[in-house]
Chains A and B, each alone.
Chain A
Amino acid sequence: MGISQFMTDEHRACDDHFAAAEQAAVNGDWETAEKEFLAFSNDTLTHFKREEDELFPAFETQTGNTQGPTQVMRYEHEQVKGLIGKLAEALEAQDRDAYLSLCESMMILLQQHNMKEEQMLYAMCERLLPPDLKEETLNKMKQVEL
């Protein structure tokens, strides 16, 4: 499995937890919502860390470009983290309307971000990184923990 496939699969796994948390919130099952939301935010933050600690530096070293796409992705990660914080507050307060409204924003924001990574950045990594560096980066990414 290559970098692109591994990271794309992680995006989809995060979506599943996100959807499960949203479903639980709709049902008023705040305990499950909390559990699923925690899984979503942990997975998402671990995924971001894999990128920021391993993938982006590898890309930057290979291309000599630190102010380009990776910088944009880092900025978008900050936006997502901000929303995770707001979602957690709504969850804590068991504020169904606020939670579901923030879910809408999060879903669009996150999916737009994922689309860019999957279509542009990962594809660029697959093309530009030499095979041994790709394998090394993928292995290192798998070791990353929060």
Chain B
Amino acid sequence: MFNQNGLSLDQAPPISVVFRFFLSGSLFGLLAGVLVLLFGTEIFNADTPQALILTHTLTLGAMLSFMFGALFQMLPVIAGVKLTAPTKKAALVQYPFVLGVVLLLSAFETGKAPLFISASVLLGGTILGIAAVMLKNLLALPNHSNSSRGMTVALVSLTLLTLLALYMTGTLSGLWSGAGYSEVKTAHYSFGLFGWIALLIISISFQVIEMFYVTPAYPNFISKSLPMRLFGLLLLGSIGAFFFAQSWFFVDIAIVIFLLCYALMTLRRLSQRKRPIADATVWLWRTGMVLLTLSASATLTTRFYPVASLQAINYIFFAGFALSIVFAMFYKIVPFLTWFHLNAQGYFTAPMMHEVIHPKTAMKHLYIHLATLAAFLVSIYYAPAIYLAGSLLILSFGWMLWQIIHAWELYIHTQKTGEKFEMSMPEAEG
């Protein structure tokens, strides 16, 4: 409705836009759990196709789905960016994206060129397309906050890592010879883990931690300069690797030190928060930051003492970090969107946030999540525990799936049966 200089009437996108991504994210999470049961501890050996398949089910299928959903929710607010026709754009991205992920996983399993090519077209088109739309809006902003600046850098990383991925799938499908494949692969996962996942979480936290939990501001050396420095280091490592074999060794150490500073500062800020309640989301942020600290420390250690089991442990730490934050955002976004839309539509009977997802329900998920992480860690030393870990991963994402379905049913039920008064200003798109 009003779209003057990015200040929009809509504080939230249509609920279906966000929920559809959360739904597909949860389904890929369930798939990841099933794959853990099928593959067993093979997943801890980074060189196996099983590790490759599971990693992409989690990062691409589950995490990227959740992150797209969260970005559709947060961009209008954090960055003042209003995406036009979000429902249409979301649908246009989601179906080819989901199909693309499934095709890519099949390509990893079978190694067939047509699968790699079709997955590349679908994933390249959708990811680069949505990143370009978001970047175009972000770059047009007259005033940047630390968050919007960081998100811009994270989206540039997503673009780069996708282009690098396309180079690799092109190589695997025989389109070109693939010179420098191993350097490209390292750059791809480094940009993926640090430039995209970590940087997006860091950028979002500049707003979420300070404003929603009411904490003192992050110091400038973190909030102003960390995203660009991290990105600069990743570029340095990626390009340097072509000329100097040890380039990543030094770059990794610098990145790890930055991440340690960030994680420890966030833990401190969380302990300084003025809002008293330590709900599941606070504990999930804490869990995530402790895991990031452990992951950074493990990375540092493996650079000097390459121990295979420590690399497997680090895999669990980093995935646990990213998933903890995804879950923390989920438990804020889903109840808020459900309440907000129904309230804005004028329903007296709009459920309160705690009626959409009760804090105790979110707490139970925290326990499931912690148990999942523990089971994965145990399985490194006692292989049969992997079946418990896989089952718990299924339970964890099943829990989220249940919350989405429950919130959606509540939303539809209120719309059908609720009493409402007509507001003077209707919502732009429902």
Q: Which of A102-146 contact B (CB under 8 A)?
A: 102, 104-105, 107-109, 111-116, 118-121, 123-124, 127
How many B residues have CB within 8 A of the partner chain? 36
- Report whether A101 and B354 are in contact in the complex, using a CB–CB cutoff of 8 Å: yes
State whether A119 and B145 are in contact (beta carbons under 8 Å apart), knowing that A16-B214, A68-B5 are contacts in the complex.
yes
User: Beta-carbon contacts of A10-52 to B below 8 Å, as 1s and 0s?
Assistant: 0000011011101100100000000000000000000000000
B340 touching A124, Cβ below 8 Å = no
Contact between chains at A75 and B425 (CB < 8 Å): yes
Give min CB distance, A44 to chain B, whole Å. Answer: 14
Q: Which residues of B contact A109 (CB under 8 A)?
A: 11, 340
Docked CA distance A116–B9 (Å): 11
Determine whether the beta carbon of A65 is less than 8 Å from that of B4.
Answer: yes
Closest residue of A by beta carbon distance from B7: A69
The answer on a CB contact under 8 Å between A116 and B77 is: yes
Contacts of B352 in A (CB 8 A): 98, 101-102, 105
Chain A residues, Cβ within 8 Å of B335: 104
What is the CB-to-nearest-CB distance from A112 to chain B, in angstroms, rounded to a whole number? 5
Q: Give a binary string over A47-71; 1 marks a CB under 8 Å from any B CB, 0 the rest.
A: 0000000000000000001011101
Q: How many residues of A contact B (CB 8 A)?
A: 42
List B residues 212-259 near A (Cβ within 8 Å): 212, 214
Which residues of B lie under 8 Å from residue A89 when comparing CB positions? none
The B74-89 residues at the A interface (CB cut-off 8 A) are: 77-80
B83 to chain A, nearest CB (A): 15
Q: Which residues of B contact A112 (CB under 8 A)?
A: 11, 77
- Contact among A73, A75, A100, A115 with B211 in the assembled complex (CB-CB below 8 Å): A115
B interface residue numbers (CB < 8 A to A): 2, 4-9, 11, 77-80, 142-143, 145, 148, 207, 211-212, 214, 274-277, 332, 335-336, 339-340, 343-344, 352-355, 425
Other A-B contacts than A76-B11, A105-B353, 8 sampled, CB-CB below 8 A, are A69-B4, A69-B7, A105-B340, A114-B211, A116-B7, A116-B80, A121-B7, A123-B142
